């Protein structure tokens, strides 16, 4: 029997065949029972370094302490007129929205906003590619997060055929120069790539499909995306290689455990900015198993 949440969605979906670790598998996302081959491998997929999620009580206590520091950071930004801009990218279901929510949860929403732009309008399609994003940049004292960004042109657009190869190449050439302008203008600029394993993505898609509260997050394009995992990974590698720079480095966060990922992202932000009253003991040290820089870290290599 299909779950009630699955019935809410328009129509049943056929089982798909996908390649996982070189093995072709059949996955019926409408089946409420998660396959054992996904369940057993999800957390450890893509070489994730921990066997268990971070303890919930430890997570809650640490998150609250770090959120207090974020409130201090925001007060400092409003006092000094500082501007912060951070992009969150990653495969579908990597946890971008949850990280952003954890960051902004106790900040003043008047000066901390999130940007999640829809598909470009016909007018926007005729503009400079970066133009609609620049319009959302922070003003003095403002803290802005982007749930996906101009990096759509480095991931979903080339994989799904929404841009030409020439547009993709032009983007890769121009973006490091564009991002240098952001830094040179004094904006505190961060780029986060949330990395998950393929089996974890499948588990999270399955969870969404069968949730009464989150089924709206699942769409037919997610089904198509599941069959293009290798294409997305190739696009990711090209993106990290071509757009990682000293002035705008990619911070890669292994996110099979959302709790650890959220804490490490917040720690990195707090460690990077010299705000008044910063408590370095509370912030703690980064976990080098979870957070690092660039393509080498994303592929599990050192250095």
Render 29-89 in DSSP notation, one character per residue.
Answer: TTSSSPPHHHHTTTTTGGG-S-SSPPPHHHHHHHHHHHHHHHHHHHHHHHHHT--EEEEEE
Provide the domain limits for residue 256: 4-298
Asked, for residue 66, whether it belongs to a domain, the answer is: yes
**174, 21 contact by CB (below 8 A):** no
pLDDT, position 286 = 98
DSSP 3-state of 186: coil
- Number of domains present in the structure of the chain: 1
User: Which CATH number does the domain housing residue 16 bear?
Assistant: 3.40.50.300
Does 57 reside within a domain?
A: yes
In the chain, which stretches have pLDDT less than 50? Answer: 1-10, 302-303
Is 266 a member of any domain? yes
Tens digits of residue pLDDT in 17-26: 899 988 999 9
Q: What is the pLDDT of residue 10?
A: 44
Q: Identify the pLDDT of residue 282.
A: 98
Query: How many residues can be counted in the chain?
Result: 303
| Residue 303 located in a structural domain | no
pLDDT reported for residue 301: 61
Phi-psi region of 161 (alpha: psi -120 to 50; beta: other; left: phi over 0): left
Give the whole-angstrom CA distance, residue 118 versus residue 133: 11
Residue 13 domain-assigned (yes or no): yes
pTM, 2 dp = 0.94
Q: Answer whether 291's CB lies under 8 Å from 268's CB.
A: yes
pLDDT at 14: 66
pLDDT the model gives residue 12: 59
């Amino acid at each position: 029997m299909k779950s009630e949440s699955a019935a809410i969605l328009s129509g049943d979906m056929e089982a798909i065949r996908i390649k996982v670790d070189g093995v072709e598998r059949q996955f019926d996302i409408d089946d409420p029972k998660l396959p054992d081959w996904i369940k057993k491998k999800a957390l450890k997929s893509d070489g994730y370094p921990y066997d268990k999620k971070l303890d919930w009580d430890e997570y809650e206590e640490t998150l609250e302490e770090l959120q207090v520091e974020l409130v201090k950071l925001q007060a400092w930004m409003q006092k000094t007129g500082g501007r912060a801009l951070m992009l969150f990218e990653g495969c579908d279901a990597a946890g971008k929205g949850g990280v952003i929510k954890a960051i902004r949860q106790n900040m003043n929403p008047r000066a901390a906003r999130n940007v999640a732009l829809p598909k470009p309008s016909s007018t926007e399609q005729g503009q400079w590619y970066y133009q609609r994003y620049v319009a959302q940049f922070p003003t003095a004292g403002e803290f802005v997060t982007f749930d996906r960004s101009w990096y759509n042109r480095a991931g979903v657009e080339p994989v799904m055929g929404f841009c030409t190869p020439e547009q993709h190449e032009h983007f890769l050439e121009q973006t490091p120069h564009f991002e240098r302008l952001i830094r040179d203008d004094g904006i505190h600029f961060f780029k986060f790539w949330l990395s998950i394993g393929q089996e974890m993505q499948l588990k999270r898609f399955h969870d969404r499909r069968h949730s009464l509260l989150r089924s709206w997050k699942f769409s037919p394009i997610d089904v198509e995306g599941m069959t293009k995992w290798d294409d997305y990974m190739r696009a990711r590698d090209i993106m990290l290689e071509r757009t990682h720079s000293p002035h705008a480095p990619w911070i890669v966060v292994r996110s099979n455990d959302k709790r650890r990922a959220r804490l490490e992202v917040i720690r990195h932000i707090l460690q990077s900015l010299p705000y008044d009253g910063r408590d370095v003991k509370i912030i703690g040290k980064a976990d080098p198993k979870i957070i690092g820089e660039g393509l080498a870290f994303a592929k599990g290599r050192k250095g």
